[in-house]
Structures are given as structure tokens and as C-alpha cells.
Structure 1
Amino acid sequence: MPIEIKELHIKINVNENSNSSAKPASSSSTNKKDNVADCVEQVMKIIERKKER
């Protein structure tokens, strides 16, 4: 009998080093946008795989 997980809670603590504050704001903003774009792409792939089932 397969097990279905209906909820998954993930908790993450992020601590930035004081060295990261020396980076320019534009590179930090670009890095965040890249991370968001990667996450969206991965979620879309997962949704497509679920539709194939």
C-alpha cells in the first residue's frame, strides 16, 4: 500500500556573514533573481512530471 504525504513542513535558518555586506547591492539582487528563476523552473518541471502520471 503506497503512502501519500499530504503536508511537508520545511524550516530553514539562514545566517549571512558580515563579509556579504561588502558585496554590491546589484550583484546581490541579481543573485536573488537567479535563485528565484531556478526555483520556478524546478517547480514547473515537477508539475509537468505530475501531469504525465
Structure 2
Amino acid sequence: MPLEIRELVIKASINDGGQGQNTNQSQAANNTENQNHADIIAACVEQVLAILKEQSER
């Protein structure tokens, strides 16, 4: 005998980082990762500006 489901309600709660991961180690890792991202972006900006300067001098 088949069963018919007329309504299905699914609720979910998602936390970024999960529970119990707000330790000093995870915060330090996040800070290090953010600093690495900032360093990469700064290096890219410097290279782009150097390329634009070379092109404008031609």
C-alpha cells in the first residue's frame, strides 16, 4: 500500500565554523589566513600597478 506525503517541512540551522571551534587556535588560524589573503592581494596590486606603469610609459 503506497503512502502519500502531502507536505514535507525541513528546517536546518547552519553555523559557520561549527560548535566549539571558537578556540584561540582556530581564531589564530583565521587571523593567519586573513593575513595571507591580504599579503597575496597586496602583491597582486603591486604587480598590476607595475604593469600599468610600464604600459603608460610606452
**TM-score range normalised by the length of the shorter chain:** 0.5 to 0.7
Mark the structure with the bigger radius of gyration.
Answer: 2
User: How many equivalent pairs are there?
Assistant: 32
Query: C-alpha displacement at 1:40, in angstroms?
Result: 0.6
Greater than 4 Å deviation, 4+ residue runs = none
TM-score (norm 2): 0.52
- Structure 1 residue runs without a partner (length 5+): 1-21
- Structure 2 residue runs without a partner (length 5+): 1-20, 53-58
2:43 corresponds to which letter in structure 1? M
RMSD: 1.3
Identical-residue share of aligned pairs (%): 9
Provide the C-alpha distance between the structure 1 equivalents of 2:46 and 2:22, rounded to a whole number of angstroms.
35
